[in-house]
Amino acid sequence: MDRVAHIRTEERKYHDLCFENYKLFEPGSWLHKPVKSVMDVLEKFNDR
């Protein structure tokens, strides 16, 4: 496996673990509120 594929695989494992074990927007967690930069970019997709 090349380096980039390995990094992507590990990142996927990390995100799967997080979203299986933590609830989005749960008060007190690091997922309590959306990331501002992500929300700003989403505005560009309002017409889709």
Q: Measured between alpha carbons, how far is 12 from 36 in angstroms, rounded to an integer?
A: 22
- Global pTM reads 0.52
Domain contains 27: yes
The pLDDT of residue 29: 81
The pLDDT of residue 32: 86
Domain contains 46: yes
The pLDDT of residue 27: 87
Domain contains 2: no
Please give the tally of structural domains in the chain. 1
Domain contains 28: yes
Domain contains 16: no
Range of the domain at 38: 23-48
Domain contains 33: yes
pLDDT tens-digit series, residues 3-47:
999 999 999 999 999 888 888 888 888 778 888 898 889 888 888
The pLDDT of residue 45: 87
Residue 14's φ and ψ, nearest 5 degrees, are -60, -50
Domain contains 42: yes
Domain contains 5: no
The pLDDT of residue 16: 93
